[in-house]
Amino acid sequence: MSHIQVLDQITIDKIAAGEVIERPASIVKELAENAMDAGASAVAVEIQEGGISFIRVTDNGSGISREDVPNAFLRHSTSKIRSVEDLSHISSLGFRGEALSSIAAVTKVELVTKTKDEPFGTRYVIEGGKEQSLEDTGAPDGTTFLIRQLFYNVPARRKFLKTPMTEAGHIQDLLMRLALSHPEVSFQFVNNGQEKLRTSGNGKLKDVIYSIYGREAASNLIDMDYEKEGVRIAGYLGRPSVSRGNRNFENFFVNGRYVKSAMISKAVEDAYKDFMMQHKFPFLVLHFYINGEDIDVNVHPTKMELRFQKQQQVYNLVYEGVHRTLLEPELIPVVKAPE
């Protein structure tokens, strides 16, 4: 008798889910990114118990057609790429086709969606990877995902979830960053019935910064827009006088995607060195626009790390751009507006 067997689909999806779905914030990230990929101009997120028992994400995007609904939950099913070549000019946030199958494998999902071309919406229920029902329903154009009981069927993973307060904090951080990454999308976040975040979606990055970090931060910004060698860096630098105690206030986005990059952090901090006390960190929100062929976003399933083809070149650009921009206000005396 053979001892080797190919795993069944549900088991495969459960294992794969472990890579994509670490905590409630991972689910919110995937669903919110899908909403943005679907062209939504408004995304609302509501959670209870840190998202462990309840997450609802509503968007006014394209919706999913009836025939596509079950397919969307198949592993490696995506409408966003067709081949590996597409990866070099990827403009969507998603492309792996792993999120919905992973989420459905370890939660109870209820989806209500409607495209503008269909007379009715579709309601679809899938729990632990098993389809429960598919039916007509009245619904506005767009999509609502309701996710219940994360890891209800994977006790080992459930044990590693933190307190609802900690998990809710991760979700709020994530939504802040999504809002900063797309000022043209309005975001709302409600935790246990309390509104924690709301951005207008008017397209102005400065207004998003105001909504998230408040007046003090928003009134101490230096405009930055620097372009060289095909790389554009635009956004806001916090004045060195309003430094922070840690790196959490360094916000970097590459082609609309929030990223962590030790190299960019280093370049920025080196550039601030002449202007800031030691052991302090800057506040900044910077958008990088780089040719898709010069970066690799496909390093990790969460897509948060990315690799630059030309590390040293990007370091130099960031350092120079930030350093020059910081020098400018030194030349112009700050005139206080009359109260």
Contacts of 243 (CB under 8 A, 6+ apart): 276, 277, 280, 281, 282, 283
Residue 30 as a binder of ligand ADP (CB under 6 A): the answer is: yes
Residue 96 as a binder of ligand ADP (CB under 6 A): the answer is: yes
- Closest contact distance (angstroms) between CB of 57 and ligand ADP is 8
Dump the DSSP string for 179-199.
Answer: HHH-TTSEEEEEETTEEEEE-
Burial 203-218 (b: 16+ CB within 10 A, else e): eebeebbbbbbeeebb
Residue of minimal Cβ distance to Mg ion: 94
Contact footprint for Mg ion (CB under 5 A): 34, 94, 99
- Determine how β-strand 121-127 pairs with β-strand 108-114: antiparallel
**Nearer CB in complex with ligand ADP: 284/297:** 297
At 233 the three-state DSSP class reads strand
Residue 95 as a binder of ligand ADP (CB under 6 A): the answer is: yes
Q: Which of 21, 27, 28, 100 binds ligand ADP (CB under 6 A)?
A: 100
Q: Which of 21, 25, 35, 231 binds ligand ADP (CB under 6 A)?
A: 35
Residue 80 as a binder of ligand ADP (CB under 6 A): the answer is: yes
Residue 148 as a binder of ligand ADP (CB under 6 A): the answer is: no
Residue 26 as a binder of ligand ADP (CB under 6 A): the answer is: no
Q: Which of 21, 47, 52, 64 binds ligand ADP (CB under 6 A)?
A: 64
- Closest contact distance (angstroms) between CB of 59 and ligand ADP is 5
C-alpha to C-alpha distance for 175 and 166, rounded to whole angstroms:
14
**Nearer CB in complex with Mg ion: 68/294:** 68
C-alpha to C-alpha distance for 136 and 152, rounded to whole angstroms:
27
Q: Are 161 and 170 in contact (CB under 8 A)?
A: no
Torsion of CA 315, 95, 138, 202, to 10 degrees: 20
Size of the chain in residues: 339
Binding residue count for ligand ADP, defined by CB under 6 A: 22
- Closest contact distance (angstroms) between CB of 291 and ligand ADP is 22
**Which spans of this chain sit near ligand ADP (rule: CB under 6 A)?**
30, 34-35, 38, 59, 61-64, 72, 77-80, 94-100, 143
